[in-house]
Amino acid sequence: MAPTPDITLYFLGASRAIRIAWLLEELSLPYNLEVSPRASNGLASPEFKAKIPTLLGKSPAVKDGDIVVQESSAIAEYLCETYDTQGRVLPREPKARAKVREFMAAAEGTFMLHALPILYARWRLPKPAAEYLPEMEKGLSANVHNDLNWLEAELSDGKEGGGGETNKFLVGNTLSAADILMGFSIEFIFTRKLGTDGGNWPRVQRWLDGIRESESYKRAVEKTGYSL
């Protein structure tokens, strides 16, 4: 039997923490929210960071009884392994599980890894170097295009050649942790236009629109006030 949850989610506004609120809603788990808007510099305020019980002070972080977990993918795995006893969003069957975990890993380790340097360059490039920004973004966008092309192909039920209908979900016929983790990465990349110039990924857009229609996502948005 699953233990009784005693979960607090540390939720920074407009952040990856929406993944965890969504997952908690999807699993119908009760949780307390510690929400904070971003400070004027776009980061977490020192007061909010001080509340988060990790040395990194990043969001999301989750405290559940006597355990604290950070890193959205690790938090999602912890919650699924502890409370998703039916394997609904993280399947038990090894092949389906491997595919879900592949997308969970790629959400941070591939998509955010390639997109964030573009945002950081916009924020941090010193003024005298600003004229190089467009060229730099163009160079960095090659990886983002490659990643999105992969996702576009994964979402075709014909896979090869791009024909066929758009799959509703990344793995199988129901919402999984793959969709939840990847959803934020893609929304972030599309909304901030991080390396997307010159590309077109209609299946990815349709999939994103579709998963954002789920009731659990809407509840998470309403409770947290999330908006990018």
Ligand X SMILES: N[C@@H](CCC(=O)N[C@@H](CS)C(=O)NCC(=O)O)C(=O)O
Note the residues at the interface with ligand X (CB under 6 A).
12, 15-16, 43-44, 58-60, 71-72, 108
Smaller CB distance to ligand X: residue 202 or 225?
A: 225
What's the closest the beta carbon of residue 35 comes to ligand X, in angstroms?
Answer: 13
Smaller CB distance to ligand X: residue 172 or 190?
A: 190
Smaller CB distance to ligand X: residue 11 or 152?
A: 11
Smaller CB distance to ligand X: residue 60 or 117?
A: 60
Residue at shortest CB range from ligand X:
43
What's the closest the beta carbon of residue 148 comes to ligand X, in angstroms?
Answer: 19
Smaller CB distance to ligand X: residue 13 or 195?
A: 13
What's the closest the beta carbon of residue 8 comes to ligand X, in angstroms?
Answer: 16
What's the closest the beta carbon of residue 18 comes to ligand X, in angstroms?
Answer: 9
**SS3 sequence of the chain:** CCCCCCEEEEEECCCCHHHHHHHHHHCCCCEEEEEECCCCCCCCCHHHHHHCCCCCCCCCEEEECCEEEECHHHHHHHHHHHHCCCCCCCCCCHHHHHHHHHHHHHHHHHHHHHHHHHHHHHHHCCHHHHHHHHHHHHHHHHHHHHHHHHHHHHCECCCHHHCCCECCCCCCCCCCHHHHHHHHHHHHHHHCCCCCCCCCCHHHHHHHHHHCCCHHHHHHHHHHCCCC
Phi-psi region of 138 (alpha: psi -120 to 50; beta: other; left: phi over 0): alpha
What's the closest the beta carbon of residue 157 comes to ligand X, in angstroms?
Answer: 29
Token digits of residue 73: 């993918």
* Nearest of 141, 155, 163 to residue 183 by alpha carbon: 155
What's the closest the beta carbon of residue 156 comes to ligand X, in angstroms?
Answer: 27
- Distance between CA atoms of residues 75 and 167, nearest Å: 26
Smaller CB distance to ligand X: residue 20 or 151?
A: 20
